[in-house]
Structure formats: C-alpha cells, structure tokens
A and B are shown apart, each in its own frame.
Chain A
Amino acid sequence: MYPYRAPLREIRFTLHEILHAAHHYADIGREDLNAEFIDSVLEEAARFAEGVVAPTNEAGDRIGVRFEDGQVITPPGFKDAYERFVEAGWAALCGPEEFGGQGLPESFGGPVGELFVSANMSWKMYSGLTDSAVLCLERHAPEHLKQLYLPKMVAGTWTGTMCLTESQSGTDLGLLRTRAEPDGEGTYRINGTKIFITSGEHDLTGNIVHLVLARLPDAPAGTRGISLFLVPKYLPDAAGEPGEPNGVSCGRVEEKMGIHGSATCVINFQNARGWLIGEENAGLKCMFVMMNHARLWVGLQGLAQAERSLQASLAYARERRQGRAARGGEAGTPADLIILHSDVRRMLLTQKALVEGSRILTYFAGLQMDKAAYHPDPEERRKAGDLLAILTPIVKSFVTDAGVEVTSTGIQVHGGHGYIRETGVEQFLRDTRIACIYEGTNGVQALDLLGRKVLGSGGQLARLLGGLIGAFCQNHAGYEELSDYVPRLAGLLKAWSEVTERVAQRAARDPEEVGAAAVDYLQLTGYLCLAWCWAKVAAVSIAALKREPADRGFYEAKLATARFYFTRLLPRADAHLDALDAGAEPVMALAAEHFG
C-alpha cells in the first residue's frame, strides 16, 4: 500500500494557473476567496485526508460493512474519522451559512472533495450524498422542514440518502411502485421497498434522512406520477432530536465488487411517515437538482481513484527493476527500472494525461455551478447553467470511464503484483467501477448528452460548448509554439460540429440513431474537451517557461504530457468519428434472436 499524498501542486496549478479560480470567485462577489485562502483550505483538507481518512481505506476494503440484527456496522475507523470530519467542519464546507454551513461556493467541493474521495471513496459516500440532499431540500422543501433538518444535515450530524431504485425500476423510474398515501394530518404514509440505497443504514450518525420517490394514489402512470418525500429514520421529537422510530428498516446489505466500506442497503418502508417535498407528481424534477450535483460527484470519484492509481504506478515504476532499457541500461545494476521501458512510459503517460486533463474538466464544471447560482449578470447565469447541463453527462461518464482505464492500467504497470491484493492497486479499479453505473449508467448519460442536451436544445448547447473551444482557438491562432495543438484542436472541433449535424439529420429519420450513436458521441466530445484542456495547459506552460521558473521540470512535464495526449491519445477521437459515421444500421442489423 502506498500512502496517499494529496497532489497539491497539481491542484494548485489547475485552480490558479489554468482556471484562475480567484478571479472566478471575485466575479461572483467573493473577493475574500483569494489564492492564499484557497491554498489554506486545500492544505488543511490535505492534512486531514492524508492523516485521518486515508488510514481507514484498507480496513474499509478488507473488512467492509457488516450487517447484524438489522444494524449496519461500518468498518473500523470509519466512525471516528467521520466524527472528526464533522467536528473539524469539513462536512459543512459548502453548506448554506443560514443553516450553519461555511457558505463556500459549490466549486470548493471539487478539489476538496477529490482529496477526501482519494483518501477513501467508500467513507466519503456517507457525507457525499448528504451534500446533494441538502441542495435538494434547500431548493424545494417548505421552511419548517428546512429549519428542522438542514442544520443537522449541513453539520453532518445526520446524513441523507436518495431512494429511487426498486428491483423492477432502475434506469426506468417510471416503473417504480412505492406508494404514498395522505394520512389526513398533512403528511403521508410511505410503503414499499427500495434497493441499492447507499448509506441507507449505518452507525455513523443518530439519524438518517431518506429522500424517497413514491407514487400518490391515482397518480398518472410513468414518470409524471412520481412525488418526492422526506422520510426520516427516527421522527424528530419536540426538541428536534431523534425520537420514535419511523417504520424504516434495513432488510439486507449487498456484497459487492468494490466500495466494501459503503453500505448498499435494501430499505423497507412500512407505514413510514413522510413529508412531501415540492409539488405533487413533480418529484423527479426536484430530484434532478440532487442528481445533477451527485453526477458531478461521481465524476470526481473516477478522477480521485485514478489519481491514487497514478501515484502508485509512478512509485512502483521507479523502484521495480526488470529487463534492460532499449538504449542500454544503468551500469552496476542487474536490471533497469521499468520506468525506462517505452511501453511502461506509454502506460504512465496515459494515466497522467487522463488524470490531469480530467481534473481540469471536472473542476471547470464545478465552477459553472457557482456561476449559474451567483453571477450578478443574469445572462452569465443562464450561460453557465447551460454549460453545466451539457458538461454534467460528459464529466459523469467520460471521467469515470477514464477512471476505469487508468486504474486498470495501474494494475498493468504493477504486473502480477498489481493483481495481488497486497499492493492495494486492484482496489482502485474495484472501487471506481461502480461510478460508471450509478447515478444513471454511462450509456444513459450518453443518451442524455446527445438526445436531450444536444438535439433537445436544437444544437444550442453544443454551439455554446463549441463556441468556448472555438474562442480559445481563435485567441491562440497563429502562435508558432502552439502549432502542434491549436490547429489540431480547431480541426477536431470542426469535425465534431459537422458530425453532430450529420447525426442530427439521421436521427430525424431513424429512431435508433441516437441510441446507437450516443456513447461514441460522448467519448468524442470527452476527447475534444480534454484536448481543449491540454491545449490550455500547453499555452500556460509555454508562457511559464519563458519566465525561467526554478521548477522548469514541472512545466516541461506538462508540455510533454500535452504532446503525448495530442499525438497518442487524441487519435481515439478519429475512431469515434468513424464509428459515428457508420450509423445505427450495423448496430441494429443483427436481430435480437440471432445473437446466439
């Protein structure tokens, strides 16, 4: 096991040099969040993540959660780390000040969250979903419920869940059956069984607040008949403290491929009392706030596990000796470090390019959350909201797919030792794999991107994203030093816009086109976005090198990685272009009954 080291230099580079975070905060009226302050927060979060959270990761995986007599027992160390997390105020990072939060903009959750999720992804899930639930309640709950629940949830002394999935209703929420009936006291009685509920039951806090999707009597069928309810595990007493049990019980805890420390629960609601959140039959709309937030968090999980894998790979490649380097080896040694082999370099650079590029994209999406909420100019707010809408499925899917590739490559760098538990790197793959599935599978995210966001907006959202990348190309056109990057980026942007047009035209005629194109389209868009990020890095690094910095090596490494991305990874975009142009026909030609 390699100890986790928070990649602060990388995070600072991303925030300050690429994204100009302090300017961003000034733009939304938070001049107090200057670079020095951002760094203080990062440094202390890093200390906590390295010193308190990371040591719980191994036991979390090996021992996992236990389920005894309807109670969930979290792995050793989880409760202590969680209580210290709450005590130190980290749970309240972005919570509204009105309810005792620190009131930092949502984007802080990106870099700070990355540190905690890298340290222990399972452990962070207990508080991660709470943050999304807070956002949903803040937006949609009536005042008396906010006063009762939000102070506790913001502080982290109660956690939240989102209860959507049922055995017959996964992606298709229209199929859900959990019932809600008015009880004549202004509240509702909830009956039904939810499955796969993250943090549905645990021993970290005194109460758990479930946000449950259910159907009212006579509700229309499908997704238009779903309402959202707040259902606490214990009903708050007159003092607002956990009182009587509320007919919510945990029926079982799943055994899983990874995230063994996260409790994935079957939750039974038996005549549980629930409070309506938002309008009747508008539950899905209310839940979407939460889901969109949670989707960016899931993208962050891919990034955070990929970072761990990269760290382990680099350390191992610098100590493991096997074979001789092609250009002759190091005298006096029986064999060379594997980092000297070209193929190992290829793997390490692939990891580096995907991790560092994804970090920029993920944090950038985070900044749009702030802008959409707080920018003084309504036009800027609208634009940021649109940008966030198109970036969310990209971050969710592209970054989690990259997470799987990077963590799998990390095992490969370690050879057989990577497949053995002791090195700890196989855990990163097992943990990150779920991120491609929950919060809407990556396939469904791709449908959301192409069907709803791009085509659904009549191309407007695609033009917004394309316009941003196009503006970068224009501003950097004609610079000789950027000739390896900008013309290629501009060319790909053009190809992307054109293929979007062709897909749209085919989709107008063929109902299967969107489904067949979606994942390739998402991947293509992801590679385009990362090319934009890496071109920015190249521009910033070239400028930095002109100032003769003492840490030239850092910027030279950035440039070398940008070159690797453009020459060795970006050709993948061309393959996706070709696949898109093949259309739906080859995908649908084989009849379902002839698959063998």
Chain B
Amino acid sequence: MRKILVGVKRVIDYNVRIRVKPDGTGVVTDGVKMSINPFDEIALEEALRMRERGEAAEIIAVCIGPDDAQQQLRTALAMGADRAILVKHDGPVDPLVAARTLHAIAQKESPALVIVGKQAIDDDAAQTGPMLAALWDRPQATFASKVEFKGETLVVTREVDAGLETDEVDLPAVITADLRLNEPRYVKLPDIMKAKKKPLDVTDLASLGVDAGSPAQVVRWEPPAQRQKGVMVKDAAELVDMLKKKGLI
C-alpha cells in the first residue's frame, strides 16, 4: 500500500506581527507563537483523507527545524500522521536544503506521493516542491486545489492565473497544496493523547548525507517600509498625472 510523505514546516504563526531584529540578522522568534505552515497543514489533511478513503496506508510527517519543532510534529501526529521524522537544523531553512532533505528521505522511504504546501508563509519561496521533483526526477503538480487517484496516476486540478488546469501525473509524484484543496480538521483531544505514543525519529542533515550549503545567501533582513499616507485624487486625469510625476508610468 502507498506511503505518503508530507513536509511540515515550523513557521511563525500567521496571527503574529513579525518583528525584524534590530541588527537585521533575522526576525524575532523568541517567545513567539510557532505553528505548522498553514499550506503544509492542508497538505497533511489531504494525505489523511486519502488514507481514510483507503488510498494510502501510511503517512509520514517530516520537518526540518530545531529541536522545538517536535511540537509541530506532535501536532501533525495528533492530526493523524502515523509517524514523524525531525531533521534537526537550526536557523532558517533554505528551500534547496529542504528539497535535498526530502529527497534523501524519499529515497529511503519510497513514498508514492510527497505532498508539501505550495509555499511557506515565512519566506513565501514556493520552491521546495518543484526543486524536490527535479532532484527526484519525478512529475510534479503544484498549486493543487483538487486531487483524485485514477488507478496508478493522480488527477490534479491546479489553480493557475488563467483559471483551472487539470493534469494527470504518474506516481510517485510531488504535489503542492493550494488554499482551496481542503479545510484542515480540528484536532481531537484523544488524538493528542495518542500522539504522545506515536514514533518520532530525530536525525540531522549530516546523517542523511544532505549538503547544507546553498547558493542563496541572506544578506540582511529589513522590515517593509512604513506605508505612506494616501492622497485622494479628483479624477482619472489627476491620477495619471500623479503616477507620471512619480515616474511610475
């Protein structure tokens, strides 16, 4: 039966107002509420529904993050993942490093499907899924809003700029979950209790033989510029004038 691997990233909760550290080396995370990336939660929910329909047998949640990310993995286990793997890594997670890590685990576990969120709400990179597909040399369908098994292929409806696009991909494949794919469930209390006893393996990049280097370098963090006060314009002509003056058109 099929195994599904789900990427679960630990990010600052969407409700938290982000503050950049004064020295520009990152954002403040101490004492800040951390959660599972909302798109990854959708990815996990989809995997759970597949298992509930009998289309998958085992769901493995994987997180690349600090020790504290066990908390998010426990949540994933409480939602219903069968087991979890924490790949220890401190500091920001580069999409390429994440993709390599998921690739290494995919080679070990041979899942039929890897589902990740379409992007993480901290860096908004939207690259992990596609990079993983490239490294693994398997088909991908990103921004999925509907997925259905058809024998040994998967029919995926994708949200693209022009509307909806339907793709059919061979398994194993990589899917990235979009907002409308589903609405994740609320965790049940008995499942939180059960999650205490589910297996959670801890490993690290070196043990998996993953290269932690990345061609991308973060130089500095800055908060976005304060929004300037708006100006009311009389009519379209004045608007065009203003835009011209500002050199915007």
Contacts and interface: CB of A to CB of B under 8 A. Distances in A.
Interface stretch (A81-89, A243-251, A373-381): A81-89
B33 A8 contact: yes
Contacts of B192: 37, 40-41, 44
Contact of B190 (A37, A51, A89, A550): A89
B75 A44 contact: yes
B217 interface: no
B189 A90 contact: yes
Interface residues of A, number: 28
A344 to B, nearest CB: 21
- Most-contacted residue by chain B among A43, A84, A102 (CB, 10 A): A43
A5 B13 CA distance: 12
Contacts of A102: 189-190, 193
A40 B72 CA distance: 9
A47 interface: yes
Contacts of B229: 332
Given A44-B78, A550-B28, A39 B71 contact: yes
B52 interface: no
Contacts of B29: 550
Interface in A508-556: 549-551, 554
A10 B18 CA distance: 18
A14 to B, nearest CB: 14
B195 interface: yes
B83 interface: no
A41 B193 CA distance: 9
A554 B28 CA distance: 12
A43 B188 contact: no
Contacts of A8: 33
Nearest to B26: A550
Given A549-B31, A554-B31, A40 B186 contact: no
A37 B189 contact: no
Interface in B13-52: 15, 21, 28-33, 35
Nearest to B185: A88
A93 B32 CA distance: 27
B180 interface: no
Contacts of A48: 186
A36 interface: yes
B158 interface: no
A551 B21 CA distance: 10
A41 B78 CA distance: 10
A340 interface: no
Interface of B: 15, 21, 28-33, 35, 70-71, 74-75, 78, 186-193, 195-196, 229
Interface of A: 5, 8-9, 32, 36-37, 39-41, 43-44, 47-48, 51-52, 84, 87-90, 92-93, 102, 332, 549-551, 554
29 contacts: A5-B15, A8-B33, A36-B70, A37-B192, A39-B71, A40-B75, A40-B78, A40-B192, A40-B195, A41-B189, A41-B192, A43-B35, A44-B75, A44-B186, A44-B187, A88-B189, A89-B189, A89-B190, A90-B189, A92-B189, A92-B190, A93-B189, A102-B190, A102-B193, A549-B31, A550-B21, A551-B31, A551-B32, A554-B31
Given A47-B186, A87-B188, 11 more contacts: A32-B196, A36-B70, A36-B74, A37-B74, A40-B71, A41-B189, A41-B192, A44-B75, A89-B188, A93-B189, A550-B30
